[in-house]
Structure 1
Amino acid sequence: MATGDRVRLFHLPFSFMLPQRVAHERGYFEEAGLAVELIERDRESVDVKYIPSESSLTEDHGIDLYPICKWESIKRTWEMGDGRIVAKGTFADLPYTVFVRPDSDVTGPKDLAGVPVAVNRRTGQEYTAMRALEEHMAPEDVILKGFGMPTERLRALRDGEVEAAILLDPQSTLAEHMGFREVLSFDNHMGIVGGEGIDSEVLDAFMAAYDRAAMEINANPEVFREDYLDMLEKDSRVAPGLFEDIDMGAVRADLSVPRYEVPEPADRAELDEHLEWMKERELVEESADIDRIVAN
């Protein structure tokens, strides 16, 4: 747990979390008064997802702060007591995109009713996708199928194991170069969860350093281009078969570093509305209490 101003920060190596790594590597956390240890799992050791469903990050792994999907943050903090939500946001101009094969009969979002869509279960995609798809169909017509990491979703779509798949950039751009067709996009909503050792001063220092990194990336995006492309490079080593017939030079040329945003303090009323939506769909217990989910 956090000791004084020492913070164990879990890092998701996705494109929308780049400012967190930049703040750590460039010493912005340290200059804000925090001794941050960045905890990150190696891509080659991850088959399904980075955040384990079966264990608590704050209690079992000693993590003080961790980013996670906004809806999963509600479920995780309530069911596992894995900290409390301290912040939220979209973090970057990087929407989720639903892709289908070029010969698919799906031409628009409404055609996805009753069609299995590949997602990564218990991550940002599952609940975010449910809410987005419900804008175009009845809740009972939303069908999601777990396929793990982006490389696995792309493989399943390519091999015809699923009709549609949800991706984020840079994998969305890779999907376009594989010939897949976009039929829907929607925002990626995130949260940040803190353990017992995180107080308002530590959180303010974290936000200040994060803000500094985000503003620097926004001002000089090309300087951070290689950092942004890092996950795609790791994917190419983990799943080389996906990249055999792809002109990676063309993929890289099509990719642009997005504009980043700074997380905002958790909004209790907004999260309570999301909690009620989850209760209606039996995604979380009816007894779930927002006061045990959101930090004071």
Structure 2
Amino acid sequence: MKKSWFGSGFLLLSLSLVLLLSGCSSKGDAVASEGTTGDKPATLKIKIADINTNATFRVAVDKGIFAKHGIDAELINFGTPAEGVNALFIKQVDVAYGADFPVLNAVAKGDYSIIASAGLATDAAAATWKLFVRDAIQQPEDLKGKNLSFMRGTFLPYLWDEYLKENHIALGDVILTGQGAFDEAYIALKQGDVDAAWFSGSALSDKLNALEGVHELTDMSKTTVRLGMGIVTSNDFAKQNPEGIANFLAAVDEAATYAQANPDEAADIMFKEVKQPKESTLKDLPTNPWKVGFTQAAYDSLANQKKYMVDTGIIENDFDLGSKLSLEPLKQALPEAVTYEK
């Protein structure tokens, strides 16, 4: 009886050890493979520069689109996209977006790359940029001698330059005052500290249309200026996270498509997150669709803006634009959206 009990006990102990070791082995294999194999991508933490009127990133967060693509997104808010691009320099953010002007300003400074275009301004998109002026200004000629606002680090000096030239006004005939955000420009215009300023977005336009002593003079669609929009990151971040950037761009593209297909839901998200009136989001979405990719037209828009910036001394040292494009992650994520070839 003793022998039988001892043999049975030994057998049970052996089986228990085998099962325990097998369990440990299976658990270890699962931990090692998590995020690196199968359908779920590895998680990458990305700090993303954003502004209050952009629905794309907030939809991507709220609807779990970033999470699905393995992106742990932290949105950091700025007054303008240009401020967000500038935040790259102090490593406050990992990725930023903006018009050609601030994006080129970033890559001209050294170790930064354009990873995608987010679209080109159509006439409808250009029309959302409106010039509001004090009531004493009834025609372009009345701008002579006046104080004109622009957002520092943005394309607005270029827009002013082109608009004034089209109306035969020299830059020396006006005063240009740099400001940090639209809210600052709004208050300055309201108080009469500046006489004219460009604004974009339905929420601001509605406030300005209701403002006493101020009216809309024109909009950008009536000028020759059209904008591209780019997404930019540091070279180090691009080199260290090619797969993560591909996943990020795929998520942004999916969120942009979702926002356009579900405008009411996007408007609800924007109201919940930043208290933007729903009607403002519904007005802005159709005229400012994000289109992630990179085309010859996107390159040409950047090249034309770069020429202006070099010619006027805004960019001191010219550079090869092609060397500032890091499009491999985009080609991996959205191959059909990349039609530009060097």
TM-score normalised to the size of structure 1?
0.74
* Residue 188 to residue 159, structure 1, CA distance change in 2 (3 Å): farther
2:313 equivalent to 1:282: yes
Aligned to 1:214: 256
Give the match's secondary structure for 2:46.
strand
* Residue 148 to residue 69, structure 1, CA distance change in 2 (3 Å): same
* Residue 291 to residue 219, structure 1, CA distance change in 2 (3 Å): closer
Q: Which runs of 5+ in 1 are unaligned?
A: 235-250
CA distance in 1, matches of 2:63, 2:88: 25
> What do you get for the CA RMSD once the two structures are aligned?
3.5
Determine which of 177, 192, 207 is the counterpart of 2:210: 177
Query: Residues 97 and 229 of structure 2 are in contact (CA less than 8 Å); yes or no, is this contact kept in structure 1?
Result: yes
Aligned to 1:125: 156
What's the offset of the Cα at 1:87? 2.2
Amino acid at match of 1:172: S
2:294 equivalent to 1:256: no
Q: Residues 146-191 of structure 1: CA distance to partner in whole angstroms, max 9, x if unpaired?
A: 1222221111111111110111112122111114311122255422
Determine which of 186, 195, 203 is the counterpart of 2:234: 195
2:51 equivalent to 1:13: yes
What's the offset of the Cα at 1:39? 3.5
CA distance in 2, matches of 1:166, 1:155: 13
Q: Residues 227-284 of structure 1: CA distance to partner in whole angstroms, max 9, x if unpaired?
A: 44578748xxxxxxxxxxxxxxxx8767734222323327444322221111111111
CA distance in 1, matches of 2:62, 2:196: 37
Greater share of helix residues, 1 or 2? 2
Query: Residues 268 and 278 of structure 2 are in contact (CA less than 8 Å); yes or no, is this contact kept in structure 1?
Result: no
What's the offset of the Cα at 1:112? 3.6
Larger Rg: 2
Q: Which runs of 5+ in 2 are unaligned?
A: 1-41, 221-225, 328-342
2:190 equivalent to 1:153: no
Aligned to 2:339: none
Give the match's secondary structure for 1:264.
coil
Query: Residues 81 and 97 of structure 2 are in contact (CA less than 8 Å); yes or no, is this contact kept in structure 1?
Result: no
Amino acid at match of 1:270: S
Query: Residues 85 and 295 of structure 1 are in contact (CA less than 8 Å); yes or no, is this contact kept in structure 2?
Result: yes
TM-score normalised to the size of structure 2?
0.65
CA distance in 2, matches of 1:230, 1:163: 34
CA distance in 2, matches of 1:65, 1:122: 17
Query: Residues 85 and 106 of structure 2 are in contact (CA less than 8 Å); yes or no, is this contact kept in structure 1?
Result: no
Query: Residues 7 and 35 of structure 1 are in contact (CA less than 8 Å); yes or no, is this contact kept in structure 2?
Result: yes
Amino acid at match of 2:113: R
Q: 1:1-296 maps to which residues of 2 (within 5 A)?
A: 6-15=44-53, 17-31=54-68, 33-41=69-77, 50-51=83-84, 53=86, 57=88, 60-61=90-91, 63-79=93-109, 81-88=110-117, 89-90=119-120, 93=125, 95-101=128-134, 103-107=135-139, 109=140, 111-112=142-143, 115-137=146-168, 140=171, 143-169=175-201, 170-179=203-212, 180-186=214-220, 189-196=228-235, 197-198=237-238, 201-229=243-271, 233=275, 256-257=282-283, 258-259=285-286, 260-265=289-294, 267-295=298-326
Q: Residues 107-162 of structure 1: CA distance to partner in whole angstroms, max 9, x if unpaired?
A: 3x454455432121113434444445544445635753112222211111111111
Amino acid at match of 1:85: I
CA distance in 1, matches of 2:167, 2:324: 30
CA distance in 2, matches of 1:49, 1:194: 13
CA distance in 2, matches of 1:47, 1:136: 27
CA distance in 2, matches of 1:29, 1:47: 23
Query: Residues 133 and 142 of structure 1 are in contact (CA less than 8 Å); yes or no, is this contact kept in structure 2?
Result: no
CA distance in 2, matches of 1:85, 1:229: 31
CA distance in 1, matches of 2:165, 2:272: 33
Query: Residues 74 and 293 of structure 1 are in contact (CA less than 8 Å); yes or no, is this contact kept in structure 2?
Result: no
Amino acid at match of 1:10: I
Aligned to 2:35: none
Task: Report how many aligned residue pairs link the two structures.
Answer: 267
CA distance in 2, matches of 1:167, 1:74: 21
What's the offset of the Cα at 1:289? 3.3
